[in-house]
């Protein structure tokens, strides 16, 4: 049995005709973070590509309006870096809060949930350059999670510390107890 790197496998998959749209979107996402500065990258996220229009979620309507004024120059910068053409950019706040993993400026305190393992603010905003970087980022996240784990006194499984503080045992044991009572 021959083993192939993830990078080679992804390239084989993305080269197939039915994956063309996803390949273009992936390429545009990487390009977007190279074209815009760090401040804009924190407040925007490419969400889809449809009919040569890149749709970008923004953190607020003021960001959408500001970037809409820069639309033409951004299109030129993007088209210089990719092998296909983007005709337009559409900025809106609509899908910004549907995926909070990249939103670093949240005002709510979601870290207070008992099952929270690591804060979203410690995640890397920019997409990885290659599979090795993605794997290394994943390893770093797992190491950070391990530091926050404690052992459940009931089942001896590692779990987030917040679960023990809230229920006295892990969420799995809590679920078993509540389902047994019903």
Distance CA 6, CA 138 (A): 14
**CA dihedral (113, 117, 122, 125) positive or negative:** negative
Question: Hey, what are 79's tokens?
Answer: 């088209």
Averaged pLDDT score across all residues of the chain? 79
Nearest to 90 by CA among 135, 45, 125: 45
Percent of the chain with pLDDT over 70: 81
Class of domain 6-104: alpha beta
For residue range 86-134, list pLDDT tens digits in order: 999 999 988 787 654 443 333 444 445 555 555 544 555 566 778 888 8
Domain boundaries, the chain: 6-104, 120-181
CA distances 118 to 103, 124, 161, Å, are 14, 12, 11
Give, for 123, the enclosing helix (H) or strand (E).
none
CA distances 129 to 7, 11, 67, 123, 126, Å, are 11, 14, 25, 15, 9
Residue 74: band (very low, low, confident or very high) from pLDDT cuts 50, 70, 90: very high
Stated pTM of the model: 0.50
């Amino acid at each position: 049995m021959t083993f192939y790197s993830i990078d080679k496998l992804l390239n084989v998959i993305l080269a197939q005709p039915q994956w063309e749209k996803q390949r273009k979107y992936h390429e545009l996402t990487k390009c977007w973070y190279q074209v815009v500065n760090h401040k804009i990258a924190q407040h925007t996220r490419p969400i889809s590509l449809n009919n040569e229009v890149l749709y970008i979620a923004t953190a607020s309507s003021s960001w959408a309006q500001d970037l809409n004024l820069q639309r033409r120059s951004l299109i030129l910068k993007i088209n210089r870096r990719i092998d296909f053409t983007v005709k337009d950019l559409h900025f809106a706040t609509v899908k910004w809060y549907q995926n909070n993993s990249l939103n670093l400026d949240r005002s709510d305190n979601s870290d207070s949930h008992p099952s929270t393992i690591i804060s979203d603010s410690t995640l890397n905003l920019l997409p990885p350059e290659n599979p090795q970087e993605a794997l290394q980022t994943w390893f770093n996240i797992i190491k950070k999670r391990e530091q926050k784990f404690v052992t459940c006194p009931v089942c001896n499984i590692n779990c987030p510390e917040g679960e023990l503080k809230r229920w006295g045992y892990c969420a799995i044991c809590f679920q078993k107890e509540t389902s047994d009572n019903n």
